Amino acid sequence: MKYYTYFPGCSCSSEGGARAYDWSIQAVSKVLDFEFVELDDWNCCGSTPSGSVDELGAFCLAARNLALAEKSGLEMVTPCSACYVIFNRTNSYLKQYPKLKDKVNEALSAGDLKYNGGIKVRHTLDILTTDIGYDAIKARVRKPLEMLKVACYYGCQVVRPGFGFDHPENPQSLDKLIASLGGEPTPFPLKTHCCGGSLIISEEAIALDLTRKLLESASSNGAECLVTVCPLCQTNLDAYQSRVNKKFKTEYKLPVLFFTQLMGLAFGLDSKTLGLNKNIVSANELIDRIYNPMSYIKTRQAVS
Amino acid sequence: MVTEAKTETFIDEICSQPGGEGIRLCIQCGTCTASCPNADKMEHTPSELIAMARAGMKKEVLSSNAMWYCLSCYMCTVRCPRGIKFTDMMHALEYLSIQAGLVHAKTLTPTMYRLFNHYCSMGSLSELWFMLRFYLQTNPFRAWRMIPVAFNLLRHGRISVKPRKLTQEGSCQLRSILDKAEALGGVK
């Protein structure tokens, strides 16, 4: 059994909009024999916006969590790409600027904390593909995703600015993972292009256009669903898909799953345990097809 | 010999921000602009922004809408042949713009960022209250238009009315850390 400190982040917390991501991670962790131990009393990482409003405060928001994690000494893992970037950025700046580190520690001391800079922060995708590995994943597959065409969407911050485990513009880890589940990763030229991020709130028109491009690229390459590794990307592609359709007079109906949800389905886990009933664009057809591949093949043959 | 106290130039100001010092290395090749998904919406493209900053055009740079359209996708950062951390520099310009009170009037992103920071300083971001307050504060009509999206999220159990809370102890600890940070007055 492998253990990690787990930082779910606000979206994947039990009150967050992406709690299904968290559920599916917990479900696949049981199958793959690793455990994510949630960090006690963690606070919001500050994400990108905080640094622009209050720079030192933002470093302190991140550093409090890192200092708490340092007590156990385990590597910290987060499923959220934004949290992933913030923690790694904080680590690298504290290392690069000793004066900043002193200031952050001075602030932390007001809460009886100190951060030495020793916590490595990794993304769930990194843990599953590097530590657990494709072979171990393949060995647990009960319902192979045969003939399922999947667009593997990485988004930005899991691969950029680049804290290590995959290429910043042409990553492969998620594609290989989907292939090890028996699925067919489709060509997806925009796989690391931006979904619009938090600008979906303040500049909706701009963000919707970026989301539309992703949906267009995925569906024109024959994808039957999209998988994501980030709560915000999932929300933009899933919850705002109807807004894209309305604005651009399109008719996309692409289910957008967290990659761990699709893993869970391939492992034969129950769709409710994986939180698939929380998807806005229904994934029911997809679930039926994975659970009953024979009836799907028969219908397909009948059609052709 | 008498040395005059040097006044801080705009370039010095940017360089004193973490990640800002790279501005001196720019060769104006335009790779950042060509890589930016939002460059066409900006009043000044990313490379233009650097040239203006180096020419000391503080007011024009900080009152521009450019940095507020940055998506933090880090494409410019990974492609810059001089290794400039451009995304971080955009964040530094956002910070300086807020500090100088020069925020561009027509973009709503600064308001959104401020509200975001307000909620996460309390420990955890409540998606519902953050969004609701943002829409009501900026344009209640938009809140009206967002009802179908919100309704869908609610129907699928993705919105919590009650926000996540830290323990009493954790909240106090976070508050004292942030108060102390404020008293220390910035990263410089």
Token pair in block for residue A135: 């072979």
Q: Count CB neighbours of A285 within 10 A.
A: 13
In CATH, what number is assigned to the domain containing residue A91? 1.20.1050.140
Range B63-95 burial, b when 16+ CB lie within 10 A, else e: ebbbbbbbbbbbbbbbbbeeebbbbbbbbbbbb
Residue A131 lies in a domain: no
The last residue of a domain, from among A96, A124, A152:
A124
Considering the domain architecture, whether residues A215 and A178 belong to the same structural domain is answered as: yes
**Residue A258 Cα distances to A133, A248, A275, A289, B115, angstroms:** 18, 25, 10, 18, 28
Task: Calculate mean pLDDT across residues A64-91.
Answer: 96
Report CB contact under 8 Å: A56, B126: no
Q: For residue A163, which of A77, A244, A240, A97 has the smallest C-alpha distance?
A: A77
Q: Taking a contact as any Cβ pair under 8 Å apart, which residues of chain B between 62 and 121 contact chain A?
A: 69, 71-75, 77-78, 85, 87-88, 91-92, 94-95, 98, 107-109, 111-114, 116-117, 119-121
The last residue of a domain, from among A67, A97, A124:
A124
The residue that leads in pLDDT, A4 or B19, is A4
- For residue A296, pLDDT beyond 60: yes
Q: For residue A282, which of A249, A245, A243, A252 has the smallest C-alpha distance?
A: A252
Tell me the average confidence (pLDDT) per consecutive run of 10 residues in chain B, 188 residues long: 64 89 94 97 96 95 96 97 95 94 90 94 91 90 87 93 93 97 86
Structural domain for A29, as ranges: 2-124
Paired residues of A227 in beta bridges: A152, A257
Lowest mean per-residue pLDDT among A42-51, A181-190, A194-203, B135-144: B135-144
Report CB contact under 8 Å: A17, B158: yes
Helices B109-120 and A55-70: crossing angle in degrees, nearest 10, is 40
Omega cis (within 30) before A161: yes
- For residue A82, pLDDT beyond 80: yes
Task: Calculate mean pLDDT across residues A166-187.
Answer: 97
Residue A136 lies in a domain: no
Considering the domain architecture, whether residues A266 and A146 belong to the same structural domain is answered as: yes
Residue A137 lies in a domain: no
Q: Taking a contact as any Cβ pair under 8 Å apart, which residues of chain B between 123 and 152 contact chain A?
A: 123-127, 131, 134, 138, 142, 148-149, 152
Considering the domain architecture, whether residues A36 and A70 belong to the same structural domain is answered as: yes
Picking from B121, B158, B180, the nearest residue to A110 by CB comes out as B180
For A97-138, write each residue's pLDDT tens digit: 999 999 999 999 999 999 999 899 999 999 999 999 999 999
Residue A133 lies in a domain: no
Considering the domain architecture, whether residues A193 and A285 belong to the same structural domain is answered as: yes
Considering the domain architecture, whether residues A55 and A201 belong to the same structural domain is answered as: no
Q: What is the pTM of this model?
A: 0.95
Considering the domain architecture, whether residues A234 and A199 belong to the same structural domain is answered as: yes
Mutate to test the interface with A, among B125, B136, B184, B188 (most CBs of A within 10 A): B125
**Residue B39 Cα distances to A83, A201, B86, angstroms:** 25, 19, 13
Residue A132 lies in a domain: no
Element housing A264 (H / E): helix A259-266
Domain count, chain A: 2
Report CB contact under 8 Å: A161, B87: yes
Q: Are B78 and A162 in contact (CB under 8 A)?
A: yes
Give A285's pLDDT tier (boundaries 50, 70, 90).
very high
Report CB contact under 8 Å: B156, A278: yes
Residue A104 lies in a domain: yes
Q: Does A60 reach chain B within 8 Å, measured CB to CB?
A: yes
Give A69's contacts (C-beta < 8 A, 6+ positions apart). A5, A7, A39, A76, A119
Residue A134 lies in a domain: no
- String of DSSP letters for A12-32: HSTTSTTHHHHHHHHHHHHHH
Q: Note the pLDDT of residue B105.
A: 80
d(CA A295, CA A281) in angstroms, rounded, equals 23
Report CB contact under 8 Å: A56, B181: yes
Q: How big, in percent rounded to 5, are the helix, strand and coil portions of chain A?
A: 55, 10, 40
Q: Does A239 reach chain B within 8 Å, measured CB to CB?
A: yes
**Chain A neighbors of B160, CB-CB under 8 A:** 15-16
Residue A190 lies in a domain: yes
Q: Note the pLDDT of residue A96.
A: 93
Q: Note the pLDDT of residue A148.
A: 95
Considering the domain architecture, whether residues A11 and A110 belong to the same structural domain is answered as: yes
Considering the domain architecture, whether residues A146 and A270 belong to the same structural domain is answered as: yes
Q: Note the pLDDT of residue B71.
A: 97
Considering the domain architecture, whether residues A161 and A251 belong to the same structural domain is answered as: yes
Report CB contact under 8 Å: B73, A193: yes
Structural domains in chain B plus CATH codes: 10-99 (1.10.1060.10), 109-184 (no CATH)
What is the end-to-end Cα distance of chain B in Å, rounded? Answer: 29
- For residue A157, pLDDT beyond 90: yes
Q: Count CB neighbours of A299 within 10 A.
A: 12
In CATH, what number is assigned to the domain containing residue A193? 3.40.50.11810
Q: Note the pLDDT of residue B4.
A: 53
Q: Note the pLDDT of residue B106.
A: 86
Tokens 């949290």 label which residue?
A83
Considering the domain architecture, whether residues A106 and A174 belong to the same structural domain is answered as: no
d(CA A44, CA A16) in angstroms, rounded, equals 12
Q: Count CB neighbours of A298 within 10 A.
A: 11
Paired residues of A256 in beta bridges: A226
Give the distance from residue B76's alpha carbon to the nearest chain A alpha carbon, in angstroms: 9
The residue that leads in pLDDT, B185 or A92, is A92
Considering the domain architecture, whether residues A155 and A286 belong to the same structural domain is answered as: yes
**Chain B neighbors of A194, CB-CB under 8 A:** 37, 71, 73, 75
Considering the domain architecture, whether residues A215 and A94 belong to the same structural domain is answered as: no
Residue type, B41: K
- String of DSSP letters for B101-163: T---SS-SHHHHHHHHHHHHTTTS--HHHHHHHHHHHH-HHHHHHTHHHHHHHHHTT---SSP
